[in-house]
Amino acid sequence: MSHFLTLTEVAQRRFIRDRQPTYVCFIDFQKAFDTVPHEAPFLKMERAGVSGKCLAFFSALYADSRMRIRLGDSSRTPSRRIHRGLRQGERASPLLFNIFINDPLKNCRQYGLEVPWIDCGDAR
């Protein structure tokens, strides 16, 4: 809540001082890794020119992903295929999430909204 209040105060002061609107975007990343469709980062990697073994390696991490729930000490539910969600604790997951989230940040620039300390890169 304190971040929200701080950004609201900054936006109000900037408007009073410069008479310019300030746009603030709040993104809830709490469940962000859980909502990424498996194929999305790999399609974006392919569009950016990543191919061959590198793309195959990352794609293989999520090919035919399944989950089961352990019930008690020994019994488990049947396995079920999952189609979304980056692996928690996997070293590549933050990189894959950044690849996934990069386009909305680049779109901000397209509409003239600049965030000076965010580098969106020049990927295709």
Query: Which pLDDT tens digit goes with each residue over 106-124?
Result: 677 677 666 655 555 544 4
| Least reliable range by pLDDT among 34-43, 77-86, 92-101, 113-122 | 113-122
Residue 102, amino acid: N
Average pLDDT over residues 67-89: 88
